[in-house]
Amino acid sequence: MSSPSTPAGKPSAPGKRYVARSKQVAARRLGDEVMIMVGSEATVYTLNEVAAAIWEEADGVTPLDEIVQRRICREFDVAPAAALEDALALVEELAGHGVLIVSDAPIAQNNPPAAPEKEPG
């Protein structure tokens, strides 16, 4: 049995999930939250502090478990297993709405989307 690999042929870690921001959305940070508009649905989503942290770190190459360990567990004082379980559910839900892209291999993006714009002021 062969191990999973990325499109570039590099092996990916088993069980890892990678997330990237969709290029089909517009995002803006407002205080501790991020507002995301999905044009195809004409829908606006509000991400709380935890979801916003995951969104901001969703670069397509950092595994979700590392994002959770580095940002969520440290900033929100939550156990890693519970945080990862919640993060997996969140990213799958957001992927279902076209907000995030989720993969079991790193996601190559020629022009990665920018982090959300910050509110002026």
Per residue in 33-75, pLDDT (tens digit) is: 999 999 888 899 999 999 999 999 999 999 999 999 999 999 9
How far from each other are the two terminal CA atoms of the chain, in whole angstroms?
Answer: 55
Residue among 82, 77, 78, 74 nearest 57 (CA): 74
User: Residue ranges per domain, the chain?
Assistant: 18-108
Element (H, E) at 109: none
pTM of this structure:
0.77
Per residue in 11-37, pLDDT (tens digit) is: 445 579 999 999 999 999 999 999 999
Supply the CATH classification number for the domain 18-108.
3.90.930.60
Return the SS3 of 35: strand
